[in-house]
Structure 1
Amino acid sequence: MGRNPVYTHVYNQLRYKILSGELPIGSLLPPERKLAVQLGVSRNTIVRAFSELEAEGLIAGKMGSGRYVEALPPTPSLTRVDWRSQSTRSLLHPSPSHMEEILSITDKYPHTINFAHGDGGKYTLVQSRLTEYVEAAAKRSSSYFFTSVQGLPELRERLVEWMGIPQISSPDQICVTSGSQEGLYLIATLLARQGDCIVTEMPTYFGSLQLFQSLGMQIIPVPLDQDGMRVDLLEGILARSRPRFIYTVPTFHNPTGRTLTLARRRQLLAISEKYGIPIVEDDAYRHLHLEHEPPPSLKQLDQWGNVIYLNTFSKMLFPGLRIGWIAGSSPIIQYITRLRELTISTSTLSQFALAKYMRDGALRPHLDTVTRLYAEQARLMESQLRPLRSMGLDYEVPAGGFYFWISLPEGMKARQLMERCMEAGVSFTCGDMFLLREAEQPYIRLCFTHEGAERTLHGMSILTRVLYQQKEDSR
């Protein structure tokens, strides 16, 4: 089992299953002797692994009934600091800042081949022709002044038309935000407080995890399989706890690329109605299908008004535009707008440019063009990944979105691979960035859309070389 003590392998295996939700909160662990037989190790090994998990607060024993998976306590929320104190850093959230880590890659390493960023790359901006609309908007004096806190009325009208959802029929049901991250912050702040529980699939978008953790929320993970969130496990979780909302990326999920099936969407909505729990649907990748269109959004299927819909132009156009939107019932949008008064509004110039862009019907042709390009880029990266299956690497071919979610060969350490590749000039994201804690786990995420063909081929040749080197070193 390698150079580490045997119990650490058992500990890491169980720890990952707990953090990913594969072992749900409240589930009973097998008895020590039974688990030892299953894993082919001694009972003392299991006892030591259980002891480590108990010390970390991941499991707890109950007299006469065994050991159960515990809910992770919420991490300390960000709080007021003494600006003159030299110990201010100790008040910051203890987990790594993955958002800063990823966004600063090109600043620190301008020549790195970037498979970490989740965007369409610089060349999609050029062909989109959006810069022409920004220049035209800049000539309008009204674009230099505030518009409605809820968002430019014309842009909200265009968004209603674009969504084409009967439940969203009025601009009053739309609030424009500075990207979907601000939208998620507004929703989370409205629906939950420090110490409250929320439910999300795991792994999930690290920006959402950092947000929920910074607000001091207790996150209950639900695992995924090939068909998306394990909705069948959700009802058992809801029977034991009362989360404030369910957060999900059901379509071309980040980071796995999986899509929640139509049957599970309906099941999730029925559970939401039964327990009276709202769903926050993050639909950022919906229009980035590489072949077939995905199932209808949860909001489109929503008969009871339980879904709060979140989307962004960061993926459809480019991230620096910083325009997203929230769609929901009029009362919810009114509450969100009042909360948003604290930050005044989103860039008026950008909203004018985007409203005209949509009015001219330019968004759909742009998406048709870039999704064809993305499909080619996915095929190119997959052609370089395919030969690596022989060494134990595994993946699913994405049907949409930006990412390959890759399972590494047995025994290979993802963080070590990431660090070695960074030194060699290639960046990507490590799978534990999408978990509640750093963990020894076998996944990495590669973005296939950011780089062009030449740099993708060069980057994949570097990744291949480092993979073989690390596999040889582990023998």
Structure 2
Amino acid sequence: MNNRLNRNSEIPLYQQIEQIIKEKIVKGEWPAGTKIPSQRKLADIFRVNRSTVTAAIDELTASGLLEGKRGGGTKVTNHTWKSLSAVRPLDWTSYVRSGIHRPNSTTIQEINRQEFNEGMIRLGTGELSPELLPYRQMKEVLAGAEAEKLSLGYEEPKGNRYVREAVAEHLKRKGVNTSPDSILIVSGALQALQLIAIGLLKRKSAVLTERPSYLYSLHVFQSMEMRLFGIPVDESGLDPAFIPACKKQYGADLLYTIPSFHNPTGRQMSEDRRKELIRISKAYSLPIIEDDAYGDLWLDGPPPPPLKAFDQDGSILYVGTLSKTVSPGLRIGWVAGPEPVIERLADIKMQTDYGSSSLSQWAAAKWLAGGLYEQHLATIRKKLKIRRDAALRSLKAHCQAIATWEKPSGGFYIWVTFHKPLPLNTLFERALKKNVLINPGTLYDKEAKQSIRLSYSYASISDLEKGIRTVAELARELM
């Protein structure tokens, strides 16, 4: 909406804002009952003083288009429609509230919006910087499509055979022996979790995971009324010694873990801990989802083999993706597991999107099969290590007296915990006003009220230093 303001026009800004909102109402983009953004939010969107927005809202309220209620915000009113139609307007708000999938937290929604604002220093973004994405190599890969047989139609339910063969060879190099028949191609690791949630688990299932965990920031499982229970994490990763008690108390149905360069803590599960986790999960018939999104992004040395490499009974569903290593826009990931499970998930995938993009699958296969992927990883590891070390230097320079953290040996993240309590929501808001975007720890654990997840993969080195300095200054004020 901000792009529609003409700051050189003779028409006052508040009247332009009034007209923009009025058009959204008249066109049905904001139907009756819609709660519009707060005045503070609208001021941010339009980049004007709040008084300018207030003037526009007052005019729209006087015209009967809006009404405000204490504690309920400002909504589009039904009154104005009475003169336009004898039929009561459709109440889309009730439909929105009735959807079975829970909305993101307001903080995550705000993060998703702000990540696309120019000039924002993104200290929480879990993806590679545009500077690190392989544009030239991708262009060469796609250019080669003209000389080879390329399908632009639908693929078979499990995904293109060529790409599944390439994934199987890739996994073999990681110590995971599986056949293309036991692999499903998905549109990123997140879709794998969605398919598992609706295809393998019943409502109100109990899911164990690390605490903190990326899974708490999603509502994939919660929307199916499933219950998440956290297992403590130490320097060696998730502690499987807690599983028997959790199994007894909650009747755990599944365990989700990120053993290599955990999101959000950056920790790495030791090999002994991995073997112990396999042993205990087998003893208690507890299936495991292993999310290995970051396993290829080691910086100081390769991690231990994936859990799936120790799996002799088919009790682990292994999830991988190219989103963190090659391109988030490619939207290609995979699940490896027992054939009956893969066939079940493939059937559900066909019902939901009829298969991942054939063009993306072809490109993914070329990356994995031609040696290009390993070459790219070698380059990315070097550049990520430089960024990680720069972030650690900035933390030492600005946060040593107020926080603690650990040096991650791979992945994207540093888990920063402040010495004293501070209002994370306020820190988030104040940092945002200074064009610095952070991820509060409470997104990953409601009790992590003194932590933030810092990502060194996206912001430039100069922005990392500036952003960390800014957050440190704000944290000192709040503590």
For 1:371, which of 360, 377, 381 is the aligned residue? 381
Report the counterpart of residue 136 of structure 1 in structure 2: 144
Report the counterpart of residue 124 of structure 1 in structure 2: 132
Return the alpha-carbon distance in structure 1 between the equivalents of residues 180 and 267 of structure 2. 31
Cα offset for 1:320? 1.3
Correspondence list, 1:302-451, <5 A: 302-342=311-351, 343-435=353-445, 438-439=446-447, 441-451=449-459
Cα distance change, pair 366–218 in 1 and its aligned pair in 2 (3 A): same
Q: Is the 8 A contact 2:103 2:219 kept in 1?
A: no
Cα distance change, pair 430–100 in 1 and its aligned pair in 2 (3 A): same
Worse-matched range after superposition: 411-420 or 365-374:
411-420
Cα distance change, pair 341–203 in 1 and its aligned pair in 2 (3 A): same
Q: Is the 8 A contact 2:178 2:336 kept in 1?
A: no
Return the alpha-carbon distance in structure 2 between the equivalents of residues 171 and 288 of structure 1. 24
SS in 1 for 2:126: coil
SS in 2 for 1:210: coil
Cα distance change, pair 464–167 in 1 and its aligned pair in 2 (3 A): closer
Report the counterpart of residue 114 of structure 1 in structure 2: 122
Q: Is the 8 A contact 1:134 1:350 kept in 2?
A: no
Unaligned segments of structure 2, at least 5 residues: 1-88
Q: Is the 8 A contact 1:204 1:434 kept in 2?
A: yes
AA at the equivalent of 1:125: L
Instruction: Please identify the structure whose Cα radius of gyration is greater.
Output: 2
Cα offset for 1:103? 2.9
Cα offset for 1:349? 0.6
Cα distance change, pair 166–283 in 1 and its aligned pair in 2 (3 A): closer
Cα offset for 1:90? 3.5
For 2:245, which of 236, 243, 247 is the aligned residue? 236
Cα distance change, pair 263–131 in 1 and its aligned pair in 2 (3 A): same
Q: Is the 8 A contact 2:288 2:316 kept in 1?
A: yes
Q: Which has the higher contact order (CA 8 A, sep 6+)?
A: 1
Q: Is the 8 A contact 1:181 1:207 kept in 2?
A: no
| 1:87 maps to 2:94 | yes
Return the alpha-carbon distance in structure 1 between the equivalents of residues 182 and 239 of structure 2. 30
Report the counterpart of residue 4 of structure 1 in structure 2: none
Cα distance change, pair 98–317 in 1 and its aligned pair in 2 (3 A): farther
Worse-matched range after superposition: 200-209 or 370-379:
200-209
Return the alpha-carbon distance in structure 1 between the equivalents of residues 465 and 399 of structure 2. 17
| 1:464 maps to 2:472 | yes
Cα offset for 1:142? 3.6
Cα offset for 1:101? 3.6
Return the alpha-carbon distance in structure 2 between the equivalents of residues 353 and 207 of structure 1. 32
Return the alpha-carbon distance in structure 1 between the equivalents of residues 112 and 149 of structure 2. 33
| 1:254 maps to 2:255 | no
Return the alpha-carbon distance in structure 1 between the equivalents of residues 217 and 472 of structure 2. 31
Return the alpha-carbon distance in structure 2 between the equivalents of residues 167 and 315 of structure 1. 20
Cα offset for 1:416? 1.6
Correspondence list, 1:287-306, <5 A: 287-306=296-315
Return the alpha-carbon distance in structure 2 between the equivalents of residues 253 and 131 of structure 1. 32
Cα distance change, pair 462–310 in 1 and its aligned pair in 2 (3 A): same
AA at the equivalent of 2:230: P
SS in 2 for 1:223: strand
AA at the equivalent of 2:468: M
Cα distance change, pair 440–288 in 1 and its aligned pair in 2 (3 A): closer
SS in 2 for 1:461: helix
Cα offset for 1:273? 1.2
TM-score (normalised: structure 2) = 0.76
Unaligned segments of structure 1, at least 5 residues: 1-81
AA at the equivalent of 2:184: C
SS in 2 for 1:401: coil
AA at the equivalent of 2:139: T
Cα offset for 1:201? 1.2
TM-score (normalised: structure 1) = 0.77
Q: Is the 8 A contact 2:195 2:348 kept in 1?
A: yes
Output one character per residue of 1:290-314: Cα deviation in whole Å (capped at 9) or x when no partner: 1111111100011211111001111
Return the alpha-carbon distance in structure 1 between the equivalents of residues 263 and 175 of structure 2. 27
Output one character per residue of 1:108-131: Cα deviation in whole Å (capped at 9) or x when no partner: x22101112101110111466123
Report the counterpart of residue 19 of structure 1 in structure 2: none
AA at the equivalent of 1:310: V
SS in 2 for 1:188: helix
AA at the equivalent of 2:405: Y
For 1:181, which of 165, 183, 190 is the aligned residue? 190
